Structure 1
Amino acid sequence: MKRTEYRWLLPSAMADTELPGDRARARRTVRDWIVDLSAFLIAVGVGLAALAAVEADGSTGDAVLFADAVVGAAACCALWVRRRWPFGLALTLTLVSTVEPVAAGALLVALFSLAVHRPFRPVAVIGALALVLVPLQPFLRPDPATSFLASVIFGVLMILLVISWGMAVRSRRQLVLTLRERARRAEAEAELRAEQAQRLAREAIAREMHDVLAHRLTLLSVHAGALEFRPDAPAADIGRAAGVIRDSAHEALQDLREIIGVLRAPGDSDEGGRPQPTLATLDALVAESRLAGMKVTVDNRVADPGAAPAATGRTVYRIAQEALTNARKHAPGTEVTVLVAGGPGQGLTVEVENPAPVEPFERVPGSGQGLIGLTERATLAGGELEHGPTRDGGFAVRARLPWP
């Protein structure tokens, strides 16, 4: 039989949905064996107690007593197929229990199993039939030690108890299934958002690369065209044009290899000519943060920040900017430490760390997209970026970038 495909539903809407485990497995697991053995022993215990009560009565003949023992044993052994045929087994034991008190334990186990592994409709049918037939058993096989009314009330309560218990177990399984579906859906959506953030970061970087390379490639085109149309130009002009072409090509290839830039949002195109941040402007960023009320300690160990490659300097600037912004949002009032070190041939290392906030504050929700963009930027620049909580409960961002 084809299994039902589960959708994102509330537990109430899944009342008639087939759950995993409703159909018998080809092979029992260890847990299945333990549960089945426990159910069998419970049914045997109830059956032996009923058989002892019938034997103590003294009014039952040996042949009937032997038949009770055989039927009770068969009912208990039939519980081993309750996973495969819960409805048929419950129906059969309901009819048998009307004349056989020894099968009462097996009937209760069968009703519980039916309520666990089948939806409400078949459970309601068998449960109603069992409640209707409850008075027949004490009428046909009365217990001298218990009145007829007490036997009927006890039988009704036991049937309602096991069915309610079984339905509660099924409802819990439905709830767990729904929560798992929601967790899987939330995880898939989070992965999708991360992929979209990475795609947007790549698109933004590609847009800026167009702006950065357009100027240098235009110079290449202009000077190459001049050499093409003026092959008889003076040697000094040809040498000067060749030098410009060489320098522009080198810088363009450098920028193309690093592939980093400013992540410009839509609508910022009118400001495309504004000066771009570099490593030398990191002090201005720190000063701006201090004016905003932050406590920032800077340890800049770069001997000549102005000599750092422009693209690498912008990456360091953006990493420090995002880390300071996050510290201001998620750890206000703490002292942030910014460390920049490195040099030509050694690479650049930038580290921004803040301790855990001491005083309670109203948390600002964050999506983590900024850190995703920084990771993408550092990776495309040929470096790497790490971020995460520290041992003291703070947060740290560390990046290593190449400096040829």
Structure 2
Amino acid sequence: MSGYRREKTIDLGMVVLALVMSAALALVQVRGDLALSPGLGSGTWPFDRLVFASPLLIGFTWAVNPISLVAIGALWWRRRWPTAVAVVAIVAATITPAVVPLIIALFTVAVLRPARTILTVALLALLPIPAHFLSSPYVSGVPIANAVILGVLIAAAVGWGLFVRSLSERTERAEAEAVLRAQRAQREAREDIAREMHDVLAHRLSLLSVHAGALEFNAGASAQETTRAAAVIRESSHQALEDLQVVLQVLRSPDGSPGADGPAPRTRTGLAEVPDLVRESREAGMKIDLDADGVDMDGVGRGAGPTGIAGLAAYRFVQEGLTNARKHAPGAPVRVTIAGGPGDGLTLELSNPAGPGGPRDGVPGSGQGLIGLTERVALAGGRFGHGKDGAEYALRAWLPWPA
């Protein structure tokens, strides 16, 4: 059932309920009771009740006022024009016992309309009661009790409507916040994966560029050197394609996660893999001096814990630094220094003679790697800096290493 049909079904139910309850109240009322200003009803048609006898139930009759029927019928449009329906119900209840449609109309106004409108309509509904007693100062007994009952019913209808409104607003706010949290989590997951894939792809593609350039410009290379370079190109291309496939799956997935059957990004790397990373770059022709004496490389391991996060950040630091050196200072020697220990933190520095600043052989360099590395180190709770230091260009970072 659509939302509109469901709402109109509820409205029809409210009309029927108001009709039945009004007829039931009429059976126990004296004419004019439970009207906001009973003195206005003259006791003649259309102010008097219409009495109907039931052909099925012998001796059972029910009565309803014609003006009350107008107010009851107006409840069909209570969602579309709640204020107008409430005014009609107030007028009807002022001169006839149309209390039930009045209560429903006031409840609807409290649910759907702003505070100023609610206050105005509520005061308008209460106004005939003191006005009637001011015009008839000697009225006492049952009319006063009925007036108190009417005031309580009006206040209860408005109060219950405000309570339902607050529940509805709270539910809508909770749903909106849940959507925002899901979108934020999805965006952060995409950013994390994009940062990870940038680091991996930039490293692989820069290696491809170096080896392809070596094959292009070293025409006199031996068959062994050519075979080794071709093998590195093939392996790097295969790994880069796998990583690219993961990126495409993430971007196509509605929840920002890789497909169940697809490859997972190789994020389980840590400081222990740095020597392999250096060796791979040396095979590509880079001159790298790695100084990590006294550092427990396996101590900053893999995983989702604090040391695992620091280990991955350290690995990406070295990887991005070597990638930048290949792009901007080809052939220049690179020095990688790693120091520190548990409790003191991990200090990393990667430096090389400053190149001309432009990317090598048209290899693009957008600067996203350093931006991502800055964010990664910050997320790990560390500090990161980069820039020229005299004739050298250096990357420096400090990462926490829990004791």
TM-score by length of 1: 0.50
Q: Percent identity?
A: 20
- Write out aligned runs for 1:219-258 (5 A): 219-221=214-216, 223-224=218-219, 226=220, 241-258=222-239
Q: Which moved more, 1:203-212 or 1:248-257?
A: 203-212
Cα 1:107/1:141, change in 2 over 3 Å: farther
In the other structure, the counterpart of 1:17 is none
SS at match of 1:134: helix
In the other structure, the counterpart of 1:80 is 76
In the other structure, the counterpart of 1:29 is 5
In the other structure, the counterpart of 2:361 is none
- Write out aligned runs for 1:111-130 (5 A): 111-130=106-125
Partners in 2 of 1:38 and 1:45 — Cα distance?
Answer: 11
Preserved contact between residue 98 and residue 136 of structure 1 (Cα < 8 Å): no
1:97 and 2:93 matched:
yes
1:65 and 2:48 matched:
yes
Alpha-carbon deviation of 1:127? 0.3
In the other structure, the counterpart of 1:167 is 162
1:201 and 2:205 matched:
no
Partners in 2 of 1:208 and 1:272 — Cα distance?
Answer: 13
**1:103-129 CA-partner distances (Å, limit 9, x unpaired):** 111111111111111111111101011
Q: CA RMSD in A?
A: 4.4
Give the count of matched residue pairs.
247
Q: 2:171 pairs with 168, 176, 181, which one?
A: 176
Q: Which moved more, 1:211-220 or 1:171-180?
A: 211-220
Partners in 1 of 2:149 and 2:203 — Cα distance?
Answer: 80
Partners in 1 of 2:177 and 2:302 — Cα distance?
Answer: 32
- Runs of 4+ in structure 1 deviating by more than 3 angstroms, as ranges, are 53-64, 135-142, 210-219, 260-265, 270-276, 325-329
SS at match of 1:84: coil
- Residue identity in the other structure for 1:40: V
**1:124-167 CA-partner distances (Å, limit 9, x unpaired):** 1010111122245688999x995233222111111010001111
Alpha-carbon deviation of 1:262? 8.0
- Residue identity in the other structure for 1:183: A
1:154 and 2:137 matched:
no
SS at match of 2:79: coil
- Residue identity in the other structure for 1:173: S
Partners in 2 of 1:262 and 1:151 — Cα distance?
Answer: 78
- Residue identity in the other structure for 2:278: R
1:274 and 2:257 matched:
no
Unaligned runs of 5+ in 2: 34-40, 51-63, 244-264, 281-295, 309-375, 377-403
In the other structure, the counterpart of 2:16 is 41
Partners in 2 of 1:139 and 1:70 — Cα distance?
Answer: 28
Alpha-carbon deviation of 1:50? 3.8
Partners in 2 of 1:200 and 1:172 — Cα distance?
Answer: 42
Alpha-carbon deviation of 1:61? 5.3
Partners in 2 of 1:57 and 1:134 — Cα distance?
Answer: 13
Partners in 1 of 2:133 and 2:9 — Cα distance?
Answer: 33
**1:255-313 CA-partner distances (Å, limit 9, x unpaired):** 21222798799xxxx9896347xxxxxxxxxx998x99xxxxxxxxxxxxxxxxxxxxx
SS at match of 1:109: helix
**1:328-387 CA-partner distances (Å, limit 9, x unpaired):** 99xxxxxxxxxxxxxxxxxxxxxxxxxxxxxxxxxxxxxxxxxxx9xxxxxxxxxxxxxx
Preserved contact between residue 208 and residue 263 of structure 1 (Cα < 8 Å): no
Cα 1:263/1:326, change in 2 over 3 Å: closer
In the other structure, the counterpart of 1:317 is none
Alpha-carbon deviation of 1:190? 1.3
In the other structure, the counterpart of 1:312 is none
Higher RCO, 1 vs 2 (CA within 8 Å, ≥6 residues apart): 1
Cα 1:155/1:56, change in 2 over 3 Å: closer
SS at match of 2:235: helix
TM-score by length of 2: 0.51
